[in-house]
Structure 1
């Protein structure tokens, strides 16, 4: 069990790493990588490599294996320093001559060890009857990883077109699709107040998107002030904002599919959440790199695809030759790994519902940081949309009571049960 005094530290680090991840991705998008000294702003090229940013995310997820390895080494070290267990009669076992130096008494007789390590019980199931996810069945996690690839790449493209706060707020639409898919595929039952929460989430996302369209000219997407006139920039930026919001909202279909797939898998099989994140990182990295090579050969190396999203050689050249982009990549990988780790720790120490509440507040901090950096201006419509979005999310997660008694189920109060942790709920970006 986590020490209760550490919970504020875990919550703080979850917020810090989550905010840093989105801000760093946006900062990376704003870096000029080619023709930066050109007097013509249209000739300058900025870092627009959503596929590479997806690869960075999966590398960060694979970093969870470092924590798993350190935890394993720590358990082995502490186990080797424990005294041998007492047997009947009050004496301790002695080592046999045929035992090598790497074999402990605990390894010789597993019946004397009270171990809660699933790896030491390969033939046993959990208390709720689930089998441990191991062997070839680990490849089940490749399905949600592929959904994560599609969702993350689309969101990275959307982040190129909108402000960081609008990007984060629009991601709140995932609640709607998770609710719908849970009803359709997992046969969950949603009460009226939860449908009301989903409606409010969509209303909030719509207002946020409208704010981006109406005030698109106020957002900075890499062009310094004075490069283009207001008349030339407002309309294109408004169109860009609408396209960006639609891409991010559409990506939530795949994010919700990932959530539902992982919940379906983890209802039947047991695995430590940190291991799930690590395996998804491996599968996602392999699939993304393979797809990137194929797309580069088919599109990226052509004249039409040169310098585009699928030009892998140019993209990786930009990463390794531009200091700001390379440094941002390192911090992005660290922040996403840290966000996953601290997020899981918060879920275990407090609850999944509390974590969803904390993660919602991350949007507010991203907005404040963006305002402080001058990446966007204050828009009252965006604040209204955010407030409705937060209220809808809280209502769906049973954090606030429904406004009308008619919305409550017949059993009176809404269930405030703890949901089983679905590692799909781990935020990536």
Structure 2
């Protein structure tokens, strides 16, 4: 277990020696195939070059618009004083966004809802298969095992059908279109096979939906527990949007405090909380000899909560990330998206998506916890609130400079009692 940021950084940047592997990735390869998330070192560079154009910052303008559209659609039907399953709502949002990036409008509303159901079942069953790597246990036809197998099979069937439909239809400027062009040898490197197209789509769909949804759910939970951070977020959103329903791509640079909330959420509650690497040859790390095939673990959650790296590490303090502040932690200590050549390909995309969604929802609603303690999340393949229910309170935008701007709707009650922050509202982001 590597516990120091400098050693973790060294490991993540030496992908030849510390390759992706271990129980988690062994299970993920069964699920995702040889896609960008799970492929070994020798395949990664070619795959990354092929997919990178779809995640360039220049594409963010059109992607930001669809992110805002989906965020607005999710919270449009909420009603004042009603309880909302925020975990489910955020999963609906992120699934629709990543589906549109991958497939344009190839997935109808019913199919997209089915994908969300499948992803929830897959994530639920994946961790136990990693923690208890005894295959015989999962061949028993229990209800949970049948649900997991159905979810995996149905997800693959939906992807296969989307590819077949596109083959018969009109070419589109989305990631599926890019991959299909590469099967003809028009991409970087040799032509892709049909199986490689399938594996990439499954990998990006799984990696791009659940972890981002967990980050958003954690952000709303943490804001409800920290009224001052919430008040400042609402004030900034009101000032930047100036009456508009959602931010555009040009607003991202102005949503400084909102982005700080996102960064602090990823520090405090990283969805990807535990990962493994496997040594490809005998090596040395911090004076310890590691044989070939050694499993090395590292935990973003552990690094992010080390008080030597982040003062008041258990507190939710977005201000530590504001411009002009002293560096919030040593270089390499904040790794929600990993580091090195295998840093998440969608890090910029994910930051924009969470920032836009957070601002869109916060412009309309204040979310508060239901009375009683906040239930801590249980660790799984990722970490975060998967059954977070909150109460919606409509917000009336107040002119900038008015005392108490955006702080509380009339009749709002104080935030509910919460458990210590080390266990409250945890979350995660996958590294690709």
**TM-score, length basis structure 1:** 0.25
- Whichever structure has more strand as a proportion of its residues is 2
Higher-helix-fraction structure = 1
Q: Which has the larger radius of gyration?
A: 1
TM-score, L = length of structure 2: 0.25
Q: Compare relative contact order (CA 8 Å, sep 6+) and give the higher one, 1 or 2.
A: 1
